[in-house]
Structure formats: structure tokens, C-alpha cells
Structure 1
Amino acid sequence: MEGLLNNYYETEAIILFGIGFAILLLHNNLIKKIIGMNIMDTAVFLFFIAKGYIHGKEAPIIVDGYKGVHAYINPIPTGLMLTGIVVAVSTTAFALALTVKLNEAYGTIELDEILRKGDG
């Protein structure tokens, strides 16, 4: 239990991921599924950024002179998360555009109704 209290960002990320996954599985509405996917994305970003941060160290931006390698955090997790955010936004835009086209074709954004109309 002590580990959960010390790593509350990671714990919150895991809870958020579970909420997003539950939304993705339990709802038939495509917009709600996209929202669940975005919650999961955000949880992954929070988890990796929390793991990349080290208390007491600074961002690797040299302002008042170089302080040595051990004074700075690793910038790679943050850079990867910035790339991940761009990919997540692009995926969300594509999913929303696909949802609009499905709504135009089938008149609904409920997945079970789309599947039922597609069979008949």
C-alpha cells in the first residue's frame, strides 16, 4: 500500500487507463469509444511522464552554466510523449472523420445499429 501512496501519479494513470478501457468496451456509441480511447492515451502519457521525472533534477536546459550530467532529467521520455500526443490527435481526427462518414451512410453512430444495418 505504501508504494501506491508514494507513486500517486502512476496510480492515477493506471486508474485512468482502466476507466478509458471500460468506456471503450462497454459503450456502443462511437463518440464515447473515441473519448475512452483518448482517456487511455492520456493515462499512458501521464504514466511515462511521471516515470521520466526525477525529483530534485532540472529540465535539460542550460541557463546558469552546465551543472553536470546528474543534475538533469532524461529528455527522451518527454520527447516521446510529445510525439505520442501528435499521433493521438491525428488518430482522434481520423476516428471522428470516420464517425461522420458512418453517420452519413447509416444515420447513426451506435455500433450495434450499424452492424445490424450492414447485415440487412
Structure 2
Amino acid sequence: MMSFLLVGLGAAFGGMTRYGLSTFIKGKWPTNFPVATFFINLTGSFLLAFLISSGASETWQLLLGTGFMGGYTTFSTFQVENIELHLKKKTAVMSSYLLLSFGLGLGCAALGLFLGQFV
């Protein structure tokens, strides 16, 4: 039961953080490129990998990894934004979004795994 509460609490704060940050970024930098989701997913990739490699306890992994990062990052929004870009015939933006998200996402995760070992 405690595990469910930890995940739920983390997910609530992760979702609120994503919403607040997304609203802030979209207000500051309106563009065709989905900057908010891009930033959120890259930072989430780094932070989750950092947490995992840091040797954090199961409690922290449930609260921050499964909960917070699960609520903070958003694969479904990433997918819908790519479909919307495709439907709007913004092929160059969609292609760069896909390539940068996967490439930099893997890079951020690798950096997080590497740096987390030193904590």
C-alpha cells in the first residue's frame, strides 16, 4: 500500500510540474517546434537515469522514478505532437523533433547514468 501512495504522490507532483513548466515555456517561446515537451522529456531522461545509477533506495525510486518522472515526462504527448506536425505538413519540424528527441534523449540518459555513479 505504501508503494502505491509513493507512486501516486510522485505522479501528482510530476504532472503538476510538467503542466506548470509547459505553460511557462509555451508562453515564453511560442513556436511550431514543441519546445516544452522536448525540454521536459530530455530533462526527464537525464533525471531518471541519474536516479537509477545513483543507487537510490527503492522508496526514492518509487517516489521520484516511477511516480514523479512518470507524471513529469510524456511519451503520449510526444506522439500526438508528431502526428499533428505530420497532418499540418510540417515535415521538417517533425523530422527534427523526432531525431533530436531520440538522439538527445539517449545522450541525456547516458549522461545521467554516468553522473549518477558519482553520487
**TM-score of the pair, normalised by structure 1:** 0.33
- The structure whose residues are more often helix, as a share, is 2
Instruction: Tell me which of the two structures has the higher relative contact order, counting C-alpha pairs closer than 8 angstroms and 6 or more residues apart.
Output: 2
**TM-score of the pair, normalised by structure 2:** 0.33
Decide which structure has the larger Cα Rg and report it: 1
